[in-house]
Structure 1
Amino acid sequence: MASRPKAGFGVPETEVDPQHFIVEISPSGRELITVTEDYGISGPRFDETENDVVDQVVRCRIDPRRWRQVAAPLRSAFNERLKGRKLATGRWEAGKNRVHRLLGREMCVLLWAIERCGEDKIPAAINAWTGLRPEERWWLYAMASHSSGRAGDYDRGWRKAIQFGLTEGATMPDSNRSSLLDRL
């Protein structure tokens, strides 16, 4: 039986097997970090690529050097949002870290942007990602995940566009932008 994730960001403990992401970090810190989307009780779903029904999809594998550059900004952004909703904050630990499904989608956008770019462009990608509203990140995830959302699809379609868009023309975050959801 697989061990249950022990740490994470915003996954409700009161729900039975909610849809979420799992970030697996090796204890040695030398193996690739694996990001998997787990459909939880809402799954399984038909996967056209596999021509089968799947419960989980590996969305990204990223090397530890790149992960270390984005782990702190991701943790800060996620914890700020969780605090705003009066939820417990999280931290990255070796092993399986559970991430709320919406935060996981946002994380994938950043990881997809940096997975193959030059390491000197990672700070630009972080700035560009920080400047996006959550809704914008969700939209980018939705566009990419349908046709190029598997770990090996890094050089196709929207994944390629995300990498180029976030690493080539970063802008500083604008705190004055209002959210569509804030106006509802």
Structure 2
Amino acid sequence: MTKKRALGFGYLPQESKHHFLLVTPRSPNEDVAVYERFDWDESENQETGIVEDNLRVTLDRHKWNSIKDFLTTSFNNRLKENDVTVGRFKIGHVPIERLLGKEMVLLMWAIEDSDPQLISTAIKNWSGLSREERWWLFTMANAITGHADDKRGWRKAIRFALTENPIDDEDKSQVNMFEMFYKNVK
């Protein structure tokens, strides 16, 4: 079977116009930004299609560099499973398939205002969630606090859940919050 040739990370414009766009400036002192986009036009300059209202998150370069390799490996493993060409994060604009984009933004929301020492905990907890759970969490947070400046409510809950929720280092899974609650109630 021939691999599907994708743009960026799994983005196939012929299948869907909905995607995320990661913008990494050339200067290492500038933050990365992620936009949710609902259109793609091969003939237009993709920079002109950026709508500030669709800015989902900005992340300082140090934090981005802390998760970039992990996301590259995770996403490329999934793309290989689906016979899609692998991607890489580079300077400039990188389109990302919409479901992978939701998952990436969720992790970025978790660490955007957290202590950098909690990034490894966030990665472990994020990894312990199923894809569907990540999509659902993104959808819930995005509906109420999806803009880059809305750092309250669901966004704050995601940060606490992924950076401060205890994990079991032996099996790398999240401790079920409901089980903990019921143990403590008895």
Report TM bin, short chain.
Answer: 0.7 to 0.9
Tell me the CA shift for residue 170 of structure 1: 4.3
Q: Aligned Cα RMSD in Å?
A: 1.9
Tell me the CA shift for residue 95 of structure 1: 0.1
CA contact 2:25–2:91 (8 Å) conserved in 1: yes
Superimposed CA distance per residue, residues 124-176 of structure 1 (whole angstroms, 9 cap, x where no aligned partner): 0011011111100000001100110100012x1110000000000243148xx
Question: What's 2:14 paired with?
Answer: 14
CA contact 2:53–2:147 (8 Å) conserved in 1: no
Size of the aligned set, in residue pairs, is 155
- Spell out the pairing of 1:113-132 with structure 2 (5 A cutoff): 113-132=110-129
- Spell out the pairing of 1:158-169 with structure 2 (5 A cutoff): 158-169=154-165
Question: What's 2:33 paired with?
Answer: 34
Q: What is the identity, as a one-letter code, of the residue corresponding to 1:103?
A: L
- TM-score, normalisation: structure 2: 0.78
Q: Which runs of 5+ in 2 are unaligned?
A: 1-5, 41-50, 175-186
Bigger radius of gyration among the two: 2
Q: What is the identity, as a one-letter code, of the residue corresponding to 1:133?
A: S
Tell me the CA shift for residue 27 of structure 1: 1.2
CA contact 1:7–1:93 (8 Å) conserved in 2: no
Question: What's 1:179 paired with?
Answer: none
Higher share in helix: 2
CA contact 2:18–2:38 (8 Å) conserved in 1: yes
Indicate whether 1:77 and 2:96 are aligned.
no
Tell me the CA shift for residue 14 of structure 1: 3.4
Alpha-carbon distance between aligned partners in 2 of 1:36 and 1:56, rounded to the nearest angstrom: 9
Q: Which runs of 5+ in 1 are unaligned?
A: 1-5, 42-53, 175-184
SS in 2 for 1:138: helix
- Spell out the pairing of 1:79-118 with structure 2 (5 A cutoff): 79-118=76-115
Q: How high is the sequence identity, in percent, across the aligned residues?
A: 40
Alpha-carbon distance between aligned partners in 2 of 1:105 and 1:169, rounded to the nearest angstrom: 21
Question: What's 1:147 paired with?
Answer: 144
Indicate whether 1:157 and 2:153 are aligned.
yes
- TM-score, normalisation: structure 1: 0.79
CA contact 1:7–1:92 (8 Å) conserved in 2: no
SS in 1 for 2:106: helix
- Spell out the pairing of 1:50-69 with structure 2 (5 A cutoff): 57-69=54-66
Kindly tell me: are residues 55 and 169 of structure 1, through their superposed partners in 2, closer, same or farther at Cα, counting changes over 3 Å?
A: closer
Find runs of 4+ consecutive structure 1 residues off by over 2 angstroms: none
Alpha-carbon distance between aligned partners in 2 of 1:63 and 1:141, rounded to the nearest angstrom: 20
Tell me the CA shift for residue 18 of structure 1: 1.2
